[in-house]
Amino acid sequence: MERLICHLQSINGDLLTDILSRVDGSALASVAGTCSELRVIARDQGLWKKLCHSRWPSTALEEAEHLISGSFHDCFDKFYLDACPLVLYDEDASANSLKLPECADLKPPTSPSDLLSLIDVYYKNRCVLSRILDGIPEAVDIFKHGLVDSNWEMIADERQKWFLDYPFKLELMGLKDDDDDDALDSPISSTNEAGKSKENHCKKLIEDLRLSWILVDKKTGKAVNLSSWKPLSVQKSWPYHATYVMQFGCVLPVEESLLPQKLARFIITTRIKMTEREECLKWSEISMRIENIEGAHVNGRSSLMILSKALYSQRSANQFKFEEGLRKYEKQKREMTRRRESKEALADRLFTFIEITVFVASLALSCQGEVYTGKGVKILNKLSVLIWNIGPYR
């Protein structure tokens, strides 16, 4: 290793820069820790800028590039190392995860206007869609607009209250069904054989489609990729035979004050349609929401705090570890669902038993004089058999 370093040190700096411009981000970060000469070259923001633009073409769009280059003084290396690994859910390490400061009123630490989303979609290793979503369009930051009069204050307060209290959903705007620019010009299939099933198309989408959704805090420069890179599921939308719905996302442990179940799941939903023209794909929806482990949508207030926590979450570039975390989450979800259904079934049977017991008691009181007659004994025997059959002890 020392000989290799000495040999590299003897190479011309421009040649070293050209060599390092051909490696990926993990290799470039490793080189930076070898020696002082290579560290200077490996920290060249031009190299990291090229890597970012190559991996996420949305970073080359004017607003994103201005943010990374200007506001954070050319921190492309920091952005790459933040956005490349995926959010890792580790059941064993979740108890030691970084916690946000507790607030009595659960006030979100991040304003909706501080968030920037960079979305890139890839098909067969080629980027086919790059978009930037500034802020959260459904939210109104009343401090940003200045409250010029009482009417505006009332409207802003109402819209902000609606956003904070209702289910959160962040939609990427500007995607239209009739927009030819948003179609993938690569055909999904080379033949139109009648034997091709929807499973073939779903499998091909899982193999060929990738998505990146990077959330950036414009104030601090922190970034996080909320996608799973690969589709977690692909389903055919009924009754629209040519439409497919895919889901990406990740799992994040949170505090009990945010969600009692202590787990939040980011779900990125994409909807595409196969067109008749060369069987190309058109985008009709790309959106993100947050759910708890029971599948309930999280409101805007809690979602903002969860988004802020995601910026400081545990991550990993190891795809196997990431998928293992998702499997653990799904196992926990199934176990929790099973326990809930078991409790509900037991409660239903218990309530039924109580109702029948009350009915029997009232019937016994109403026929006090006949309880020892043959008719009364027959009625009580039948009710006893009924209680035994449907009661909680069956």
Average pLDDT, the chain: 75
pLDDT digits (tens, 9 = 90+) for 271-304: 887 665 545 667 888 999 999 988 899 998 899 9
Least Cα distance to 147 among 137, 136, 139, 157 occurs for 157
Average pLDDT, stretch 115-140? 87
Same domain, 132 and 34: no
Domain range holding 119? 85-99+107-140+162-173+198-340
| Residue 369, in any domain of the structure | no
Read off the pLDDT band of 105 (50, 70, 90): very low
Same domain, 310 and 211: yes
Average pLDDT, stretch 173-180? 47
| Residue 335, in any domain of the structure | yes
Domain boundary among 308, 323, 340: 340
Same domain, 22 and 122: no
| Residue 353, in any domain of the structure | no
- The answer to whether residue 168 scores a pLDDT higher than 70 is yes
Read off the pLDDT band of 268 (50, 70, 90): very high
How far is it, in rounded angstroms, from Cα 229 to Cα 330? 18
| Residue 124, in any domain of the structure | yes
Same domain, 257 and 123: yes
Q: Tell me which of 62 and 382 has the higher pLDDT.
A: 62
Q: Which 3 state secondary structure label does DSSP give 278?
A: coil
Q: Which 3 state secondary structure label does DSSP give 117?
A: strand
- The answer to whether residue 1 scores a pLDDT higher than 50 is no
In which residue are the tokens 């923001």 written? 45
Give CB contacts under 8 A, 24+ apart, made by 351-354. 352/390, 352/391, 353/387, 353/390, 353/391, 353/392
Read off the pLDDT band of 15 (50, 70, 90): low
Indicate if the alpha-carbon torsion angle 332, 333, 334, 339 is positive or negative.
positive
Same domain, 124 and 62: no
Task: Tell me if 261 sits within 8 A of 292, measured CB to CB.
Answer: yes
Rounded to whole angstroms, what are the CA distances from 6 to 2, 15, 44, 186, 359? 6, 15, 21, 48, 92
Instruction: Give 391's DSSP letter.
Output: S
How far is it, in rounded angstroms, from Cα 64 to Cα 61? 6
- The answer to whether residue 175 scores a pLDDT higher than 90 is no
- The answer to whether residue 178 scores a pLDDT higher than 50 is no
Q: Tell me which of 58 and 355 has the higher pLDDT.
A: 58
Same domain, 260 and 332: yes
- The answer to whether residue 43 scores a pLDDT higher than 80 is no
For 61, counting Cβ atoms within 10 Å of its Cβ (0-12 exposed, 13-18 middle, 19+ buried), the class is: middle
The pLDDT value given to residue 14 = 66
Read off the pLDDT band of 216 (50, 70, 90): very high
Provide the CATH number for the domain around residue 61: 1.20.1280
| Residue 240, in any domain of the structure | yes
Beta-sheet pairing, 126-134 with 169-171: unpaired
The pLDDT value given to residue 187 = 53
The pLDDT value given to residue 238 = 67
Same domain, 211 and 289: yes
For the full predicted model, state whether its pTM sits above 0.85: no
The pLDDT value given to residue 142 = 47
Same domain, 274 and 317: yes
| Residue 350, in any domain of the structure | no
Total tally of structural domains belonging to the chain: 2
Average pLDDT, stretch 222-248? 84
pLDDT digits (tens, 9 = 90+) for 357-370: 767 776 666 665 55
Same domain, 45 and 134: no
Same domain, 69 and 205: no
Same domain, 33 and 93: no
